[in-house]
A and B are shown apart, each in its own frame.
Chain A
């Protein structure tokens, strides 16, 4: 199949290109607006998945540390207030000093 676009002037080439794109239903503006459209969707999905994964792993770590602390106690309702007032999902808040500084300057509604 022969293509005679090389024989045409630049204006005629542009005109032919525009006609082709109009025929296919897409303009150059819509075609080139987001060159990474699929990658955008992928990145957004990965970010959301990471957000969920990180949050869930934090909750799981908190649950594990709470159950470790509460393991000797057979009754659940006696353990819950202590665990929530400590609010120690990490090693930092497990130490007494940061826990007191964290709760000191603000009005805490947790544990009440």
Chain B
């Protein structure tokens, strides 16, 4: 295998993992906001779960690439302990913490039926932190943080997540989810023009 192959595997795995995690967050927000009416909730939920699981798999690929890359000599401590990395410890720690939070979200989702809904929901809110920390990790610690394409992708996806989050917050509690109710709530608060 070529000298830098694991380096490419790690970088590509990290980027794909970030994209999948972002899509999982967007799909989850679609579930709660129903901004797009057409897809059936069961289909969205199933894909949401799959996207989260696939993100974990590609984070594994990212870590495996780092562990096998001969240039950095990343060991288990550097990979799994925040601030233990000799290379950009703070920026790498963002990724380590995001990984743990992603694991917590995934495990609690798998055990959702066996645990109180309230606890599951609180842990699930950590998905936002996973997205923010993962994005910062990619932009600050990664070699591809200077890549204009990646920067634009981060900007656009962050905008979508922010918009959907605002719609979710502004939607009145107890009302059926949907675009109309969210817009009505925003109108009531004077956030958008009628």
Measured CB to CB, the residues of A under 8 A from B are: 32, 34-37, 39-40, 43-44, 47, 50-52, 54-55, 58-59, 62, 84, 87, 89-93, 101-103, 105-110
Closest beta carbon of chain B to A82's beta carbon, Å:
14
B145 within 8 A of A: yes
Within 8 A of A (CB), among B38-88: 40, 42-47, 50-51, 54, 58, 61, 70-74, 86-88
Which of B15, B50, B147 touches A43 (beta carbons < 8 Å)? B50
Cα A50 to Cα B7 in complex, Å, equals: 16
Chain B interface: which size bin? 35 or more
In chain B, positions 1-53 with a C-beta closer than 8 Å to chain A are 3-4, 7-9, 11-13, 15-16, 19-20, 40, 42-47, 50-51
Q: Specify which of A51, A101, A106 is in contact with B73 (CB 8 Å cutoff).
A: A106
Tell me the minimal C-beta distance from B10 to chain A in angstroms: 9
Query: Complex formed: what's the CA distance from A35 to B11 in Å?
Result: 32
Taking the closest CB of chain B, its distance from the CB of A83, in whole angstroms, is 10
Q: What's the Cα separation between A47 and B50 when bound, in Å?
A: 12
B146 at the interface (CB under 8 A from A): yes
- Contact call B146/A40, Cβ cutoff below 8 A: no
- For the complex, would chain B's binding face be called helix, strand, loop or mixed by DSSP majority? helix
**Residues of chain B at the chain A interface (Cβ within 8 Å):** 3-4, 7-9, 11-13, 15-16, 19-20, 40, 42-47, 50-51, 54, 58, 61, 70-74, 86-88, 143-147
Q: Which residue of chain A is the closest to B9 with respect to CB atoms? A: A55
Kindly report which residue of chain A lies nearest to residue B23, judged by CB atoms. A43
CB distance B19 to A93 under 8 Å? no
Q: Are B9 and A109 in contact, CB atoms less than 8 angstroms apart?
A: no
A54 near B11 with CB under 8 A, answer yes
CA distance A52 to B58 in the complex (A): 12
Partner of B72, one of A37, A54, A106: A106
The distance from the CB of B111 to the nearest CB of chain A, in whole angstroms, is 18
* Residue in B7, B46, B86 whose CB lies within 8 Å of A36: B46
